[in-house]
Amino acid sequence: MTKSNRISIAIAALGGQGGGVLSGWVVDLAEANGYLAQYTAIAGVAQRTGATIYAIELFPEEQIKKHGSEPVLSLMPIAGDVDICLSSELIEAGRAVNRGIVTADKTTLIASDHRVYAIGEKEQMGDGRIDSDAVRDAIKKAAKKLILFNMDEMVLKSGSVISSVLFGALAGSGALPFSREKFEETIKKSGRAVNTNLAGFDLGYQNAKGSVSVSEAPCAQEFSSKSSPLLERIENMPDEARAIVTYGLHRLVDYQDADYAELYLSRLDDFKEQMLLSDVARHLALWMGFEDIIRVADLKTRVQRSEKIASEIRVSENQIWYGHDYFHPRYAEFTDTLPASLGRMMARSSIAKSIFSPFFSKGRIIRPKTIFGYLILRSVAGLRFMRKKSLRYHTENKRIISWLDLVKKYADDNPALALEIARCPRLIKGYGETHARGINRFSAIMAYVEKNGDAKGIAEKIAELRDAALLGEKGTEFNHILEKGMTDHAQQKGEFTWAGSS
Amino acid sequence: MAERSFKKEVEKLKLGAGEEFRGEGILAVTKGLLQAGVSYVGGYQGAPISHLMDVLSDAEDIMNELNIHFETSASEATAAAMLAASVNYPLRGAVTWKSTVGTNVASDALANAASGGVKGGALIIVGEDYGEGSSIMQERSHAFAMKSQIWLLDPRPNLTSIVDAVETGFELSEASNTPVMLELRIRACHVYGRFTAKDNKRPEFSIQDAMENPVRDTSRIVLPPASYLHEKEKLEKRWPAAVEFIKSRKLNEHMGAAEGDIGIIVQGGLYNSLNRAMELLDLSNDFGDATLPIYVMNVTYPIVDDEILDFMEGKKAVLLVEEGHPNYIEQQLNTILRQAGCDTVLNGKDMISDIGEYTCDVIKKGLNKFAKEHELLKSQKADAQSQTPVEIPARPVGFCTGCPERPMFTAIQLVEKDIGSFHISADIGCHLFSILPPFNIGNTTMGYGLGWAGASAFNKQAKQRTLSIMGDGGFWHNGLTSGVGNAVFNQTDNVLMIVDNNYSAATGGQDLMSSKAEHEKRSTQHDIATAVKGVGVTWVKEVRTYDLVQMHSILLEAMTTKVRGPKVIVAQGECQLNRQRRVKPIFNADVKAGKRMERDRFYVDSDTCTGDHSCIRMSGCPSLTLKDNPDPLKSDPVAYVDNSCVGCGHCGEVAHASVLCPSFSKVTLVYNENFWDRFKSGLRSSLIGMLQSAAEKKRLSRLKKAGLI
């Protein structure tokens, strides 16, 4: 049998990314330049954000004339028979490789290096993102020729769509027997958003040709290397720990004041072993800088925040914009902010609760770019001066001290356990229910350690519990593992009784 | 207005004889209908023939010029019943739907049409939603053809063959007084290709002729004794007539080598995949010059015994390439061979997989096995080495950015937190995505519009009510009677939530009776709540879905109220995909024209986001995604709203309703600001700026004092 002059192209994309437009361009381009083109796709629910694939086949008209009949073309990409695979996202390129439609003997793979996270990755309580490097390795191995760059960046840069960047990269790859001008003519003929599409095309073309250097984002550093009493105290720490502690100091001065940072350092004095020190330093800094409404109000009123929003949402120069911030302080946050004794009383008093809680039943929207909104938030932020007297501070402080005591207790005798305990505050995050859930599981683990600290394999058990705690909101897995050790504690609500509970 | 407009493409339907037509499969089918002189067309949307309905809709003016009546039918049953027009009159009619689900709905009318038979050509175009990308149960339309005796065409998937099948389908129908089903697989419906056009034909006998000169022939009506005669007529007259037509018109084709003792029989629709598989095994080439004889069944029912036996003659073995289960064709071929005493070996599902779509890869694998057994392979080509697959996440379908259905399911999550979990009967439509992550809501689905019917057994007093979901599409399709009417009549105490999003959204945004927009050719704006009250429900609440607080409280009330009897919530929110398509161009034009405009979008403060992702689990919006945590002390990624956000506000509502975190903010961007805007903004930014820099100075001095900067 004679060798075929057919060109088979597959486009692996997400529904709604414009794979249809790209296919249309390829068809127009081929038809205008002496090729027969066939294209097909699976429309329907697959287009609702799911993974989808388009198949295109091109065949030289000249040969059709010579043979006297039409060729038989395929309606789907076939493993081992695809010349060019275009992919609008990294994982979709990986999926194409797994399907076998990218092969080392013939396929040019042109893919975007950016990620659109799948729901399975996004919904995890911790970090559920898959390892992109493994996918990169796999597609590098699979393709005959690989063009891989972040096309999403090019989309933002050119204000166009990913189809035009892919089309440009296809032109730049030289995988099709058509000149750059012919590609550009196709875009021009389509008559829609021609200029931006051409801009995207150009970036795609340049990148495929390898003539664009990737610029590393400059790393902004607010820190100085000059010495200070605080920094002098950590000079002898190992490098990794010192970096974390420096961040920690900075965070806590910013959060409260230098005295508070001093307290942080003195709490770290008890830990010498490098790995333990790093983990304690990291979690202690985060915990001591717990997010109360004072901190939130402070962050929301900073100059830097406006700048960050403006750049992230791509505000054009001099464009006016307003922010509407969603808050839902509850009665508990109110009593938490009060001086400890008053707060505790108010929290327990049902009369106070019935009087004040109606004020906290609804979510509120505050606009920090209006004078009134700014002043409200700023006055809350101003409560910083009385933070150390607040109920919340007392609660957290007690937990922190008890946690540190537990870590210290095992630091020498069972360093593996100490390390696992040190890592547990990772579970405490957020506000409202999220925070309550975190505290519940954290305290359950601490109570477990208090009870079973000397059991065999306890360190592994704690690590297992900590991972399980991040598996699901309902906590089925967590409770299952916990039950094995202490039946009386499973399914309990609120904070478990341990040294740190109030 | 449908998701995709074919206004430009339908111009191609006017092409005349000899001109080259280029376009999508479904557009070609429409052209085939016009060329065949069709008088009426109806159908119900659903992939893969949604686009066919859209093309027909957009081509209504062209059809009116040819005196063709086109109708967007209320259901597939309505469409099938339309074929009654061809029973007494020489009118050619075509109807279309998604199969097999649509054929299930249509089968009552189909069986009646097939029993009495037709005078005018009756063509049923079914989009076979089978295999990759399919959204329904995996079954075959073939069974319907067999049970009602309807002929089944399965043409080769190129436009010339498909268009020919439309025209010969009508002729076959008329020659044998039998409805004909034209089966198109999903990829064939959407294939872009070319064919040589013919002139459109105006039907000689018009619909007006029929209406003004009614014909009555009781022997065509299914009622004894005629129904017994129909059965006899089917077997003794219509079947032989069909076989004769198929043979004389050579509807089935012989391809590849003329001679050979090993052959292949293939369903027409699979021919292209078969040829590519053969080519990859060096048994054919680009143009289908195969080294083996191939019998292509463009008509898969009825099977022409003579043609089969002729093909089998002198052959040692034949491979049958038949997609789907059960293997009706294989069974029938074996009967034919056995009865004729023919000892040719028939291979089929013993060689090629018996489960799932016959992709080219699957056929190639089976063919390889068959070819090896019969020593047809010259060289033993090693298959491309496959790598061990790399781990990648599944990417299931989901609700679009800003979808108004998302808040409904968030509300269900919240109510389940309040009162514990309850049984949820789901329906068909985009809302069925609720069963997937992140919502994981819904216990069963029994078919389109059958959401509430699916909960009808749970009609006893219990501590927990059941909740049913139904889309507006399913509601008008049959849910008003099968669900709501049934619940009223049987006095259920359960709750139904109807998704009123202005369109038949899942099928591509076609208009419905309750669509809010004016429609030039259809009557819209018929209120769902009024219809529900009309059949006797007294507890009816309407709620805007985006108002999560309301959504939550009304659903909670419905699930817990002391009021007994059926309860219906009509949840309203325009399909965002269609809304964006509608409003975006207007917005852009207004901005360009210098009008003052505002646009909302959301933003997550990465400083206060804690990386727990509750917001994602409770919303699932595609624009709500992840990015690395900018805080060097934290490792879990933070939530992040990307540029596709349409500002629907749901994530903010979620943060409010479930007290998630203070990280969400809505940003309103002003375009073409006016003097008042500039004045306000100037005043605010100078004042706030002053206060901000004072606060910043204090913060910096604190850091400086500590020696950190």
- State ipTM: 0.94
In a domain, B300, yes or no: yes
Partners of B667 in beta bridges = A323, B601
Please, which residues 590-649 of chain B have a Cβ atom closer than 8 Å to chain A?
601, 603, 605, 607-608, 610-614, 616-617, 620, 622, 624-626, 632-637, 643
The verdict on a CB contact (< 8 Å) between A97 and B637 is no
The verdict on a CB contact (< 8 Å) between B661 and A261 is no
Return the pLDDT at A47. Answer: 56
> What CATH number should be reported for the domain holding residue B604?
3.30.70.20
The verdict on a CB contact (< 8 Å) between A76 and B603 is no
Mutate to test the interface with B, among A263, A320, A439 (most CBs of B within 10 A): A320
Tokens of B172: 């076959």
Residues B95 and B221 in one domain: yes
What length does chain A have?
502
* CB neighbour list of residue A485: distance below 8 Å, 6 or more residues apart: A448, A452, A461
For residue B260, which phi and psi values (nearest 5 degrees)? Answer: 145, 145
Place of tokens 């890869």: B361
The CA distance from B394 to the nearest CA of chain A, in Å, is: 7
The verdict on a CB contact (< 8 Å) between A43 and B50 is yes
User: Of the candidates B268, B190, B167, which has an alpha carbon nearest to the alpha carbon of residue B4?
Assistant: B190
Mutate to test the interface with B, among A5, A27, A72 (most CBs of B within 10 A): A72
Final residue of a structural domain among B515, B549, B578 = B578
Judged against a pLDDT cut of 60, whether residue B498 lies above it is answered with yes
> Residue B550: helix, strand or coil by DSSP?
helix
Tell me which chain A residue has its CA closest to the CA of residue B653: A326
Burial of B146 (0-12, 13-18, 19+ CB in 10 A): middle
Return the pLDDT at B397. Answer: 84
**Packing angle between helix A432-452 and helix A391-411, nearest 10 degrees?**
30
Of A117, A253, A371, the CB nearest to B702: A253
In a domain, B484, yes or no: yes
In a domain, B295, yes or no: yes
User: Of the candidates B302, B85, B5, which has an alpha carbon nearest to the alpha carbon of residue B95?
Assistant: B85
Separation of alpha carbons B155 and B667, rounded Å: 55
Of B129, B652, B696, the CB nearest to A326: B652
List domains and CATH numbers for chain A: 7-209 (3.40.920.10), 229-390 (no CATH), 392-489 (no CATH)
Task: Check whether the bond before A107 is cis (ω within 30° of 0).
Answer: no
Residues B261 and B334 in one domain: yes
Mean pLDDT of B270-278: 98
Residues B423 and B288 in one domain: no
In a domain, B631, yes or no: yes
Helix (H) or strand (E) holding A270: none
Lowest-pLDDT range, B192-196, B219-223, B368-372, B394-398? B394-398
The CA distance from B190 to the nearest CA of chain A, in Å, is: 5
Return the pLDDT at B658. Answer: 78
Cα distance from N-terminal residue to C-terminal residue, chain B: 61
Chain B residue numbers with beta carbons less than 8 Å from the beta carbon of A326 are: 652, 655-656, 662, 664-666
Residues B189 and B228 in one domain: yes
- On the CB side of A407, how many CA atoms lie within 13 Å of its CA? 29
Residues B201 and B83 in one domain: yes
Residues B668 and B679 in one domain: no
For residue A259, which phi and psi values (nearest 5 degrees)? Answer: -60, -40
Separation of alpha carbons B510 and B429, rounded Å: 13
The verdict on a CB contact (< 8 Å) between A434 and B612 is yes
Report yes or no: B341 and B309 within 8 Å, Cβ to Cβ. Answer: no
The verdict on a CB contact (< 8 Å) between A130 and B616 is no
Final residue of a structural domain among B221, B248, B275 = B248
Judged against a pLDDT cut of 80, whether residue B8 lies above it is answered with yes
Place of tokens 């995988």: A175
User: Of the candidates B357, B346, B155, which has an alpha carbon nearest to the alpha carbon of residue B264?
Assistant: B346
In a domain, B333, yes or no: yes
Query: Radius of gyration over alpha carbons of chain A, in Å?
Result: 30
Please, which residues 204-263 of chain B have a Cβ atom closer than 8 Å to chain A?
none
Report yes or no: B86 and B120 within 8 Å, Cβ to Cβ. Answer: yes
In a domain, B262, yes or no: yes
Partners of B299 in beta bridges = B153
Residues B281 and B234 in one domain: no
User: Is B670 in CB contact (< 8 Å) with chain A?
Assistant: yes
Residue type at B612? D
DSSP code, position B453: G
One DSSP character per residue, A155-196 reads HHHHTS-HHHHHHHHHHHHT-SS--HHHHHHHHHHH-SSHHH
Separation of alpha carbons B439 and B618, rounded Å: 7
User: Is A413 in CB contact (< 8 Å) with chain B?
Assistant: no
Q: Is the dihedral of CA A164, A166, A171, A175 positive or negative?
A: negative
Lowest-pLDDT range, A230-239, B90-99, B229-238? A230-239
Tell me which chain B residue has its CA closest to the CA of residue A60: B286
> What CATH number should be reported for the domain holding residue B539?
3.40.50.970
For residue A421, which phi and psi values (nearest 5 degrees)? Answer: -65, -40
Final residue of a structural domain among B208, B226, B248 = B248
Report yes or no: B58 and B192 within 8 Å, Cβ to Cβ. Answer: no
Report yes or no: A431 and B662 within 8 Å, Cβ to Cβ. Answer: yes
Chain A residue numbers with beta carbons less than 8 Å from the beta carbon of B691 are: 374, 378
Tokens of A212: 């664009």
The verdict on a CB contact (< 8 Å) between A37 and B612 is no
The verdict on a CB contact (< 8 Å) between A73 and B272 is yes
Judged against a pLDDT cut of 80, whether residue B684 lies above it is answered with yes
User: Of the candidates B281, B252, B261, B262, which has an alpha carbon nearest to the alpha carbon of residue B363?
Assistant: B281
Sites in chain A below the pLDDT cut of 50: 214-222
| Structural domains counted in chain B | 5
Q: With left for phi above 0 and alpha for psi between -120 and 50, is residue B707 left, alpha or beta?
A: left
Q: Is the dihedral of CA B123, B125, B128, B129 positive or negative?
A: negative
HEC sequence for B18-41: CCEEEEEHHHHHHHHHHHCCCCEE
Residues B41 and B84 in one domain: yes
pTM of the predicted protein model: 0.93
Partners of B195 in beta bridges = B21
pLDDT exceeding 90 applies to what percent of chain B? 87
User: Of the candidates B642, B643, B638, which has an alpha carbon nearest to the alpha carbon of residue B628?
Assistant: B638
Residues B198 and B328 in one domain: no
Return the pLDDT at A218. Answer: 44
Helix (H) or strand (E) holding B626: strand B624-627
Residues B271 and B364 in one domain: yes
Residue type at B565? G
Place of tokens 């009593």: A335
The string over B27-37, giving b where at least 16 C-beta atoms fall within 10 Å of a residue's C-beta and e elsewhere, is: bbbbbbbbbbb
One DSSP character per residue, B364-406 reads HHHHHHHHHHTT--SS-PPPPPPPPPPP-------PPTT-TTH
The CA distance from B538 to the nearest CA of chain A, in Å, is: 31
Residues B167 and B276 in one domain: no
The verdict on a CB contact (< 8 Å) between B387 and A124 is no
Helix (H) or strand (E) holding B157: none
In a domain, B384, yes or no: no
Instruction: For residue range B575-631, list pLDDT tens digits in order.
Output: 998 899 899 999 999 999 999 999 999 999 999 998 899 999 998 899 999 999 999
Of B436, B508, B706, the CB nearest to A253: B706
Return the pLDDT at A34. Answer: 97
Place of tokens 């003794």: B236
Of A16, A50, A286, the CB nearest to B633: A286
CA of residue A98 relative to chain centroid, distance: 25
Q: Give Cα separations from A21 to A25, A187, B400 (angstroms).
A: 6, 10, 19
Q: How much is the mean pLDDT over chain B?
A: 94
HEC sequence for B465-532: CCEEEEEHHHHHHHHHHHHHHHHHHCCCCCEEEEEECCCECCCCCECCCCCCCCCCCCCCCCCHHHHH
In a domain, B591, yes or no: no
Return the pLDDT at A228. Answer: 78
The verdict on a CB contact (< 8 Å) between A250 and B703 is yes
Mutate to test the interface with A, among B134, B184, B367, B387 (most CBs of A within 10 A): B387
Q: B96 is in which domain, residue-wise? A: 20-248
Residues B568 and B431 in one domain: yes
